Amino acid sequence: AQSVAQPEDQVNVAEGNPLTVKCTYSVSGNPYLFWYVQYPNRGLQFLLKYITGDNLVKGSYGFEAEFNKSQTSFHLKKPSALVSDSALYFCAVRDTEYNFNKFYFGSGTKLNVKP
């Protein structure tokens, strides 16, 4: 079965410091991986994706993510956090083997950036 795991419910970081939000995946077949962000009382917004190519992918708002096949991880990173980055972050994987129309989401990680 396809799945993603976000091991941290919450990540706290000071403004200006680097941030990492962790995601590991379990898929059969090639992984299509995504990060989304959700601000309070809003739907999810796409941040970035990995489908193929460079292991380091860049996305919106200065975020990037590193695909690591040997560790089955796809961690979200940003070199310098902003208070406005505080939100709920979801990792997701698209099923590329059994049902191409299905996506699986992690449980979410709340990022708190303190001034």
Partner 1 sequence: DVKVTQSSRYLVKRTGEKVFLECVQDMDHENMFWYRQDPGLGLRLIYFSYDVKMKEKGDIPEGYSVSREKKERFSLILESASTNQTSMYLCASWHRTSSNNEQFFGPGTRLTVL
Q: Which of 37, 33, 14, 36 is nearest to 24 (CA)?
A: 33
54 in contact with partner 1 (CB under 8 A)? no
Query: How many residues make contact with partner 1 (CB under 8 A)?
Result: 24
Cα(27)–Cα(90) distance, rounded to whole angstroms?
17
Q: Cα-flanking dihedrals φ and ψ of residue 61, to 5°?
A: 55, 25
Of 11, 40, 28, 21, residue with least CA distance to 93:
28
- Considering only the stretches 20-28, 61-69, 73-81, 106-114, report the one whose residues sit in contact with partner 1 under the rule CB under 8 A: 106-114
Nearer to partner 1, 28 or 99 (CB): 99
Nearer to partner 1, 41 or 70 (CB): 41
Q: Which positions lie near partner 1, rule CB under 8 A?
A: 6, 9, 32, 34, 36, 41-46, 49, 51, 90, 94, 99-103, 105-108
